[in-house]
Copies of this chain bind each other. A is one copy, B any other.
Amino acid sequence: MGDLAGQAVEGTLYYAPYAEFERVKDANFAAKDRAAIFADMCRLNALYMIARAGSGHIGSSFSSMDIISWLLLEEMKGPDVYFSSKGHDAPGYYAALIGTGQLDFDLVHKLRQIDGLPGHPDVGTLGMVTNTGSLGMGISKAKGMVLANRLASRVGRVFVMTGDGELQEGQLWESLVSAANMGLHEIVVIVDHNKLQSDTFVKNVSDLGDLEAKFRAFGWRVERCDGHDLNAFAAALASLEGDSRPKIVIADTVKGKGVSFMEHTSLDSDVAMYRFHSGAPDSSMYRAAAQEIMTRLNERLSATGKADLELETIDRPRSPAPPATAQRLIGAYTKALLNQAEKRSDLVALDADLILDTGLIPFREKYPNRFFECGIAEQDMVSMAGGMALNGLLPIVHSFACFLSARPNEQIYNNATEHTKIVYVGSLAGVVPGGPGHSHQAVRDISALAAVPKMTIVEPSCEAEVESLLQWCVDEAPGSSYMRLISLPWEIPYTLPVDYKPKYGQGVVLAPGTDIAIIAYGPVMLTSAFQAAQVVAGKTGLSVKVVNLPWLNVVDKDWLKTILPGCKHVFSIDNHYVIGGQGDAIGRTLAALGAGIPHTCIGLEEVPPSGTNPQVLARVGLDAASLAITISNALRSSKQA
């Protein structure tokens, strides 16, 4: 097992079993050597977990791996706790907790699986002391923990890992002030200073300047060291002892550390895109990476006379690529935006470090002067857009829906009170992908923005509708608008009428029917609704209409009336919590009409789990099978009532 080359089967994955961790732990290594070997074993297992899950964050799991290993094995005492504020380094931390035996070993196979290990940390997992994945909250959380400890006369340090891209979030700087004023010396922040954020180099996105000077100016004790030199890291920690100030260790690290071609230092240029921030490696990359880690591990073991590692293997689960016919809304959005930009020279695009995921690279290439990379600074981005709109531009503001709707919520409202026009575009909308977990599942964004005056919320059901809705937002919207975009490629069973143009507040019938109506939006929900309608029709003999209503907070009353004749029950399907979703806009309109037709809102009621897309849709009741059951049950009980 020592050499994967030649014997590696395409699709075979390798991981170190618990017995091997115990062997290394019990061997008479120097502390530093043991931690380094442990870290590499965790790298191997984190790589396995990510490859198996099909997604995860390799780059920062690897950059922080040595530090985490040292903390867990050598530094932390009984009451001390550790958590990662950025949270996307979770696979590495999980691997470490599995390696020390603090987490059940079987979880190594369950990253991003339901009832397994969530994509970002959640307190439902043993050893996770707080939920992260929303950036910049960690130091504030740590302060609350320390203050609670002090009130209860408990002791213990709180180690908080932050990213460096994360340092662009205002809350982080907000949180430094009172920690210094209150002398919360129990807090030790470690900046995993790997110099890259999700897309590329921090310095190219939003340069952090003189980090040490900044933290010192905020009254914190600051040390700096090589985050892969464990002697240096241990010395930095030791030097902090007895200081009454809260502490920061800036640990200079390499993103992707431990696999030569994944290390950011291997990038050709400092404007290159880094490929291992998130996602999973393909088979050949996986093999090469695992081989490199293995080789180094065995060299280290044999240098001290130890036997090679005994690895276990497993076939990589096949995850078929989405079919070529799947609807790709982000790609369609890229084209639609370029079309609008060509027509309107006042159109500018703003991004918060998600240029790849939001589909903006072609826009930046074509219109470099009209593109503004704001870094992970959503509040600043939104208020900047406000200033631009006041001075005559049409800003299109991009981020993930979960962040864009919530972090700059007050800023979006402030802009709206100025009666300017801004288009907000939130991608990664809805409950799937389920892998990243609740910090990234945007199922509260409609509610968070629906009441903003003159704000129209839309969600396209397919590529064609992306183009027409963006055109509407740019040219026809009465005020600002928020476009919600499904990022997953999705195969859809319906087509829009050839001559279809979205009309404000009006839907379009995708499947005719007279007895019951199912109203939904977006490719994921409409697909579930469409398939559920067929099941229900088959089972009950009822004629089931399926309607695409791309307007999420406005319903044309007269249009709705045309849907109702003969209708015995209306169902709304929300890729969102029931409260505040499209169902509420439909319910409000139905109630105003006094229609007297039962209306059932189907959507999320609880915080969604992390898991594969089919797992998550089934668990929250939004796959076709669950919908068919819910609808059938509702029909039965309204018949009985």
Contact = CB atoms under 8 A, between A and B. Distances in A.
A554 to B, nearest CB: 9
Contact of A414 (B131, B452, B592): B131
A418 B151 contact: no
Interface string A379-392: 11111111111111
A178 to B, nearest CB: 6
A141 interface: yes
B151 A180 contact: no
B605 A598 contact: no
Which residue of A129, A206, A447 has the most chain B CB atoms within 10 A of its CB atom? A447
Given A379-B140, A607-B453, A390 B145 contact: yes
A588 interface: yes
Given A143-B384, A451-B444, A588 B584 contact: yes
Contact of A152 (B144, B169, B392, B590): B392
Given A174-B173, A217-B213, A447-B447, A591 B590 contact: yes
A141 to B, nearest CB: 4
A469 interface: no
B594 A598 contact: yes
Contacts of A181: 206-207, 209
A621 to B, nearest CB: 15
Given A140-B379, A417-B122, A588-B601, A374 B148 contact: no
Contacts of A259: none
Contacts of A127: none
Contact of A596 (B148, B447, B451, B594): B594
Interface stretch (A278-286, A318-326, A489-497, A575-583): A575-583
B151 A370 contact: yes
Interface residues of A, number: 120
A217 to B, nearest CB: 4
Given A209-B180, A217-B209, A580 B451 contact: yes
A509 to B, nearest CB: 21
A409 B409 contact: yes
Contacts of A151: 348, 369-370, 393
Contact of A375 (B177, B382, B393): B177
Contacts of A208: 177
Given A130-B386, A147-B372, A178-B375, 10 more contacts: A141-B386, A147-B384, A168-B174, A169-B174, A171-B411, A178-B380, A210-B217, A214-B214, A402-B410, A584-B584
Interface of A: 122-123, 129-131, 134, 136-137, 140-149, 151-152, 168-175, 177-178, 180-181, 206-210, 213-214, 216-219, 348, 369-370, 372, 374-375, 377, 379-393, 395, 402-403, 406-407, 409-411, 413-414, 416-419, 438-439, 444, 447-448, 450-454, 553, 569-570, 576-581, 583-588, 590-601, 605-607, 638
